[in-house]
Amino acid sequence: MATLKDTDSDAQVTFEDQQKINKFARHNAKLQDIKEELTTKKKDLQNLEDAADELMLQDEEDGAIPYQIGEVFVSSTVEEANEMIEKAKESTQKAIEELEERAETHKKVLSDLKVQLYAKFGNNINLEAEDD
């Protein structure tokens, strides 16, 4: 989060500076949202990989395998369940890659804004993430 320290300084905050600070805050918030979504997607991918591993242990004659689609479980064969899991893994991996690309875009904007704002305000502005 961007904050200005209350010290005696001859650096005045212009409208353009405030716009840059606001832009930094917006991009930083979006980046945090993307990071949270990435964490969720990576957990989903790990769960799918675990399910695929469990299916390998199943015998073809074990009967129907329950597979959850939304709120509903459907019965499928081991082969059908494997296919659905592989498709879900591919989709999740693609979503992770897209999120990582979006995160990199926001990181680049944040980096550029940091350079500009620190150049003008020096130690009088804090653009680092707060430790919770």
- Taken in order 95, 101, 103, 109, the sign of the CA dihedral is negative
Residue boundaries of the structural domains of the chain: 3-59+89-126
Tens of pLDDT, residue by residue over 75-122, are 988 889 999 999 999 999 999 999 999 999 999 999 999 999 999 998
pTM (2 decimals)? 0.80
The pairing of beta strand 65-69 with beta strand 125-126: unpaired
SS3 91: helix
Torsion of CA 10, 11, 13, 18, to 10 degrees: -160
